[in-house]
Chains A and B, each alone.
Chain A
Amino acid sequence: MADLEVFEVFGLTKPGAAVCHAGSLQAADPELAMVLARELFCRRSEYIELWVVPRLSVHVAPRAGEVLGPAQPRSYRLGSGYRSTVEKWKQFGGEQGGDR
């Protein structure tokens, strides 16, 4: 008997959506993994596209705080880091800050 392998299943719920994790399953190869993935995760047409990936091919970075989390605040990478523009606009007249 062939050894079964674990596959992680990802899917798209609608055109243009980001691919998200659906679950995992055991299968002999990618073709049969796809058969089982359709059976397990698409009974109600939940996904328009499915990916099956051998788990061994998925490399996971350590959890936030170790690598992914910011070592120092990184607000300058986010729009929310520039809220002070609202106040700054007020110096140039008008009640309303910003461009709204």
Chain B
Amino acid sequence: MDMDLKDFEARIARGELVEADDFMPDAYRRQCLRLIVTHANSELMGALPEREWIPRAPGLGRKLAILSKVQDEIGHAQMIYRVAEDLAAPFGITRQDMLDDLIEGRAKFHNVFSYPAPTWADVGIIAWLVDGAALETQGALLKTSYAPYARILRRICAEEAVHLKHGEDIVLTLAAGTPAQRAMLQDALARWWRPLLHFFGPPGEGTNSDAFRWRIRTASNEALRQGFLRKYVPKIQRLGLVIPDPELRLDEASGNWLYGDPDWDEFWRVIRGGGLQTVERLSLRRLSRAEHSWVVAAMRRDSAA
């Protein structure tokens, strides 16, 4: 076993990729699985607030665009659960178990999907900045050592990049609109700024952990957050919007953005299921699972359907 672990780590150190049928230590399998299931859950949960906006989107073009975004996110969830299933098989865990864990509140998903999206501007901010943040994280994961995940991420990232343009278009339209539209956009940004900083997780987490040694992850939380800030802060400022953080400033020496304490206690509260809409969203997920059970039955060719 120790020899196997040594060989495995030597493979990783040589930059080799791990395929589903390759030997891998249980701890590697478990860490990959946790990361990948959290991602799958987030795709599924992320579609819920957007689905609520399909009938309310302004105009047929916007309705079609957000409908197709929801379809993409559910498609991503399907592909990612599929990768997770192969990883989980040796543990005797199935997709059904993963879906059960999610609605029973036993599984994690991204913090941002526990917040309400009360206006159309929230939809724009989510598609532009939440998808932008997700693209930052997923772009870094393209270099993960677990090859089946990296393969589907290439496809997912390409589609997320379209979502980002769609969000950018909504935001630009509102920013160039009436004073009421600009005010709505400013309010939405104020609501989302802190959850966006939280999205990447707390800083200072050690990059010498197993996840980094085994190249499951390759970029630290703070590096990802800085990548996001470098890209989007100048764009937000160019639109004349106010970022609700008086301490936010660029440190010329390091090229990093310094930001005020975003209240990490809130992050932990949300992650552990205490978000503003965690319970509501999970019950929405439970409802949609029950309402769509006939589709699942039909896809299984269940004769009782």
Residues of A in contact with B (beta carbons under 8 Å apart): 1-2, 4, 6, 23-29, 32, 36, 39-40, 43, 60, 63
Q: Which residues of B contact A32 (CB under 8 A)?
A: 299, 301
Partner of A2, one of B75, B78, B82, B301: B301
Bound state CA distance, A39 and B72, in angstroms? 10
Bound state CA distance, A40 and B71, in angstroms? 9
With A23-B152, A43-B68, A43-B72 as given contacts, are A28 and B82 in contact (CB-CB < 8 Å)? no
A66 to chain B, nearest CB (A): 12
B302 to chain A, nearest CB (A): 5
Bound state CA distance, A24 and B152, in angstroms? 10
- Binary flags per residue of B162-173, CB closer than 8 Å to A gives 1, else 0: 000000000000
Residues of B in contact with A (beta carbons under 8 Å apart): 19, 21, 68, 71-72, 75, 78-79, 82, 85, 95, 151-152, 155, 297, 299-302
Partner of A28, one of B21, B79, B301: B301
B301→A43 contact, CB < 8 A: no
Question: 8 more A-B contacts (CB under 8 A) besides A28-B299, A43-B71?
Answer: A2-B300, A23-B82, A25-B78, A28-B300, A32-B299, A40-B75, A43-B68, A63-B19
Q: Which residues of B contact A60 (CB under 8 A)?
A: 21
Q: Which residues of A contact B300 (CB under 8 A)?
A: 1-2, 4, 28
A to B CB contacts below 8 Å, 20 in the list: A1-B300, A2-B301, A4-B300, A23-B82, A23-B151, A23-B155, A25-B78, A25-B79, A26-B82, A26-B85, A26-B95, A27-B299, A28-B300, A28-B301, A29-B301, A32-B299, A36-B299, A39-B75, A40-B79, A60-B21
Q: Which residues of B contact A2 (CB under 8 A)?
A: 300-302
Q: Which residues of A contact B82 (CB under 8 A)?
A: 6, 23-26
B61 to chain A, nearest CB (A): 17
Bound state CA distance, A6 and B95, in angstroms? 12
B301→A23 contact, CB < 8 A: no
B75→A43 contact, CB < 8 A: yes
Q: Which residues of B contact A26 (CB under 8 A)?
A: 82, 85, 95
A40→B78 contact, CB < 8 A: yes
Q: Which residues of A contact B302 (CB under 8 A)?
A: 1-2
Bound state CA distance, A27 and B78, in angstroms? 12
Q: Which residue of A lies closest to B81 (CB)?
A: A26
Bound state CA distance, A36 and B295, in angstroms? 12
Bound state CA distance, A29 and B21, in angstroms? 24
Q: Which residues of B contact A28 (CB under 8 A)?
A: 299-301
Q: Which residue of B lies closest to A44 (CB)?
A: B159
